[in-house]
Amino acid sequence: MGLHYVNGNLVNGGVLDPTRPQIVIYEPMPDGTLKLIGADYLVIAEAWHKKHPETPEMMGQLFHLLRLRIVSDCRPSIRCTYGRGRTIRTGPL
């Protein structure tokens, strides 16, 4: 799955730009470095519609607009299996 890094300002910006993906995905390498393996795009429907009347589209690809309430039932902490046994604290989104 890789490590997903999300730029919240871009997600909430209501703009799709192929040169500035909202999400970049890295694969941890055995030597501790990260290798860029992918990018993804995410836009919040309400933020998009503040600036655009039409459905999001980029380079011919239509985006699905989902209106979901994010609910998390995460445990208070999880053990990171690759990150040298470090404990990562998580909480409800």
Residue with tokens 């997903």: 4
Q: For 60-67, what is the mean pLDDT?
A: 74
For the stretch 4-15, pLDDT in tens is 999 999 999 999
Both tokens of 70, joined, read 């994010």
Task: Give the percent of the chain with pLDDT over 70.
Answer: 69
Q: Which two tokens stand for residue 58?
A: 């980029």
Q: Which among 38, 45, 31 is positioned nearest to 3, based on CA atoms?
A: 38
User: Average of pLDDT values for 48-73?
Assistant: 75
Instruction: Please state whether the predicted TM-score (pTM) of the whole model is above 0.75.
Output: no
Q: What's the number of CA atoms in the CB half-sphere (13 Å) around residue 54?
A: 5
Provide the residue count of the chain.
93
Give the pLDDT confidence of 14-52 residue by residue, as tens digits.
999 999 999 999 999 999 999 999 999 988 888 888 999
Which SS3 state, helix, strand or coil, does residue 78 take?
Answer: strand
Kindly state the tokens that stand for 86. 């470090």
- pLDDT for the residue numbered 73: 47
Interatomic CA distance for residues 76 and 89, integer angstroms: 6
